[in-house]
Structure 1
């Protein structure tokens, strides 16, 4: 049986990413620069002769747009493709669409105390703070959030494993990927994931292993190919 490997891409840069707004379950399309970045990623993945058994994304428009570009550049538009709402981004509820700075440097510090630096908060604390601050009642408590993310990715891995293993291409969201990494390997330091970065997980005997987080080398390689440098 081949090894089961998930190549998890963060979607391309969107309008909200560009102007620093929290996107969550709201949505904006990729910008021209965002589309170019995902084109680079697809070309880069193809240049390493990577092929994928199946594709998976959240049901958000920005991940669908990203996957369409990737599969086109890979020349693999005919592989099975599943949309799964469990691997959506965190929902910020009434805070969706607000500026990142207000959420992470205003709202959360006010909840936990003015001296609190949001970067020092655990994912559980951040989820609790967002849940408490959300006046619409849409944000998910930590237990619901972590369970939906972990179950979504576990089902993807088990599906590929049941078919004899191989590579799966997954497109989702920055905080979703970071949360998944934390749940698997909490010792790995938190980091901000760039649009079009790749995080690689392997799955064997019911266990995930984090191989690499936020790899930008595929995009860099694709940019060189598109620019005619290699």
Structure 2
């Protein structure tokens, strides 16, 4: 009998750019010492979850996060692990690596809002966000909405389908804040834009016959459990 297919989707640990308020996107920085410590606690909290497979995006911060978690897992050495470029973060083009205030200063103005809070209170769509980022990007590197939607959906759906086809079970996936939030909106269009997921938080989805179900979002209880055990 097949098991339930469950995706434990984790936002990578806190990085240097996260700490100083710079936009990462496709640029990359390593986890800070504190970021590594929190992910180690997360790994301890997840050590008894029987993962069949593990994945991360191909960004260094996601790979580093996945390896720390697997190192702490009871069976980590035997869990197959691979990277998938489709589940990486959105690309912010010429705004990658700049301070968050630059990105979230210009994007609201492009969309005719006074500031970031005004924009978020008006519940813009992810399509609007992607279009505004493309307009703000002077290097012409940012991806159009349809390309982001296709790669993110196909990346997570392919992983879920593969696990289900092989009898179901749990899979660990390390991805990124905006990408995870965007995926939730593709599953449930009424889901609010939530781009401030905690580093190391777990968002759990189940998957059956081509349909995702959101079980919980931005869960930090595994970190708290790891602190107690550590």
- Cα distance in 2, alignment partners of residues 131 and 71 from structure 1: 36
Secondary structure class of the residue paired with 1:12: coil
- Give me the CA root mean square deviation: 1.0
Q: Deviations over 1:172-202 (max 9, x none)?
A: 1000000000100122223320000000000
Q: Deviations over 1:14-64 (max 9, x none)?
A: 000000111000000000000001001010112xx2110000110000001
Paired positions, count = 223
- Alignment partner, residue 32 of structure 2: 31
Pair 1:150-2:149 in alignment: no
* 1:214 Cα deviation from its structure 2 partner: 0.5
- Alignment partner, residue 10 of structure 1: 11
- Alignment partner, residue 188 of structure 1: 191
- Cα distance in 2, alignment partners of residues 225 and 137 from structure 1: 48
- Alignment partner, residue 60 of structure 2: 61
> Where do 1:135-174 residues align within 5 Å?
135-174=138-177
- Cα distance in 1, alignment partners of residues 168 and 119 from structure 2: 39
The runs of 5 or more residues in structure 2 that have no matched partner are none
The runs of 5 or more residues in structure 1 that have no matched partner are none
TM-score of the aligned structures, taking structure 2 as reference length: 0.94
- Alignment partner, residue 70 of structure 1: 69
- Cα distance in 1, alignment partners of residues 127 and 181 from structure 2: 12
- Cα distance in 2, alignment partners of residues 21 and 40 from structure 1: 25
Secondary structure class of the residue paired with 1:53: strand
> Where do 1:98-137 residues align within 5 Å?
98-104=98-104, 106-115=105-114, 117-119=118-120, 120-137=123-140
- Cα distance in 2, alignment partners of residues 210 and 225 from structure 1: 28
Aligned residue among 179, 182, 187 for 2:182: 179
- Cα distance in 2, alignment partners of residues 41 and 123 from structure 1: 29
- Cα distance in 2, alignment partners of residues 77 and 13 from structure 1: 24
